[in-house]
Structure 1
Amino acid sequence: MPGGRLTQQDRQRIAAGLADGLSYAEIARRLDRTTSTISREVARNGGPSGYRPQQAHQATVQRARRGTRTPAPPRAAGVPSGAVEEEIIELAVRSGMPRMTARVHVDLLLSEDGRRTAAELTRRLNVSPASVSVAVNFLVEHGYVRRERDPQRRRDIYVIDDDAWYHSIVVSSQQTLASAQAALAAAETIGLDSPVGQRLSRAGTFLERVIQDMRESADRWRSLLT
């Protein structure tokens, strides 16, 4: 069973893994640790962008000498801990979402009213405005959030609400449907009597039917979000 205290060398390898863009799961595998061990270590020592192995090790040694654990800052009732937030981010990354985009998405998702400005996201995540801009553009494009305009302060507000899940499925299905239609068109061009044409036709038809079922299911269960 993986376990034991993290060593200074372990922490250096964690920092190297973060710098290389590795997932927590991959870093954990290389260190023979659990993913939750890595996510807790990073969350309590500056987060993915602020993790410093030397400072993290010194802080752990000091806590051990005092025989106390670092007190967690007070959190609103029902808000997940930092480790849980990191786990949610990790799941999003595994599904293919860029890490920075996942961080922005989860921060919006866990906000009390599901609303943040770009400036708030920049400050909360301690990242550049450009990074936030790229992330929110991705989220808006894929239907995960919507953009609202504050006419009084002339700024954009990014909003995630329950219906966002429905819209994200619709956007995703439209993109997949376009691929299916492209495959079917290519099959017609190449010729349905050829092996390649038949292969493309089967793939396009399969994707088209699956997307149709998914859209019908999303429409049928959309009322659960209201």
Structure 2
Amino acid sequence: MSHITARVHVDLLLSEDGRRTAAELTRRLKVSPASVSVAVNSLVQQGYVRRERDPQRRRDVYVVDDDAWYHSVVISSRQTLEVARAAMAAARTLGPDTPVGQRLVKAGTFLERVIEDMTESATRWRTLLK
């Protein structure tokens, strides 16, 4: 996570209601609107923050809540699972008997198993966030 992305995330976490607009983040952190936009987009993609529309003010509000931690684990798991599957596919293409194929099979299998455990654990412990 970049420095500015971390600062935006922490500022949202420290806000009383877990909500801020881009203008508030820009003002509070003394950074450019473009920096806030890049940081928020990254946080949204990673599941740490969600976007809500404020219809009265016609602007986005960025929200961090307790369930964001769960969503972040799920999103990260999906991304890692894609890497594991790509490794397994490459191993099949290169041949499972080649040194590279063997290494990719091991890596893919390891990642699949770890992600499966992590996803099950996140689901099991999600109630702690409620």
TM-score (norm 1): 0.57
Q: Secondary structure at the match of 1:148?
A: strand
User: Where do residues 8-157 of structure 1 align in structure 2 (5 Å cutoff)?
Assistant: 97-157=1-61
The structure that is helix-richer by fraction is: 2
* Aligned residue identity for 1:202: K
Match among 71, 79, 84 for residue 180 of structure 1? 84
- The answer to whether the aligner puts 1:206 opposite 2:110 as a matched pair is yes
Percent identical pairs in the alignment equals 79
- Please report how far the alpha carbon of residue 123 of structure 1 lies from its aligned counterpart in structure 2 after TM superposition: 0.6
Equivalent in the alignment of 1:216: 120
- Please report how far the alpha carbon of residue 120 of structure 1 lies from its aligned counterpart in structure 2 after TM superposition: 0.4
- Please report how far the alpha carbon of residue 136 of structure 1 lies from its aligned counterpart in structure 2 after TM superposition: 0.3
Equivalent in the alignment of 1:42: none
Q: Secondary structure at the match of 1:181?
A: helix
- The answer to whether the aligner puts 1:161 opposite 2:65 as a matched pair is yes
- How many Å separate the matches in 1 of 2:43 and 2:76? 12
Q: Secondary structure at the match of 1:161?
A: coil
- Please report how far the alpha carbon of residue 116 of structure 1 lies from its aligned counterpart in structure 2 after TM superposition: 0.2
How many pairs are equivalent? 130
**Higher RCO (Cα < 8 Å, 6 or more apart):** 2
- Please report how far the alpha carbon of residue 177 of structure 1 lies from its aligned counterpart in structure 2 after TM superposition: 0.5
* Aligned residue identity for 1:152: Q
Equivalent in the alignment of 1:23: none
Equivalent in the alignment of 1:62: none
- How many Å separate the matches in 2 of 1:122 and 1:193? 54
- CA deviations on 1:42-88 (whole Å, 9 max, x unpaired) are xxxxxxxxxxxxxxxxxxxxxxxxxxxxxxxxxxxxxxxxxxxxxxx
- Please report how far the alpha carbon of residue 189 of structure 1 lies from its aligned counterpart in structure 2 after TM superposition: 0.4
- How many Å separate the matches in 1 of 2:26 and 2:13? 16
- How many Å separate the matches in 1 of 2:35 and 2:9? 13
Larger Rg: 1
- How many Å separate the matches in 2 of 1:135 and 1:198? 38
Could you say what the CA RMSD is over the residues aligned between the two structures, in angstroms?
Answer: 0.5
TM-score (norm 2): 0.99
* Aligned residue identity for 1:199: R
- Please report how far the alpha carbon of residue 142 of structure 1 lies from its aligned counterpart in structure 2 after TM superposition: 0.4
- How many Å separate the matches in 2 of 1:193 and 1:125? 54
- How many Å separate the matches in 2 of 1:173 and 1:194? 28
Structure 1 outlier segments of 4+, above 3 Å? none
The structure that is strand-richer by fraction is: 2
Q: Which runs of 5+ in 1 are unaligned?
A: 1-96
- How many Å separate the matches in 2 of 1:122 and 1:116? 10
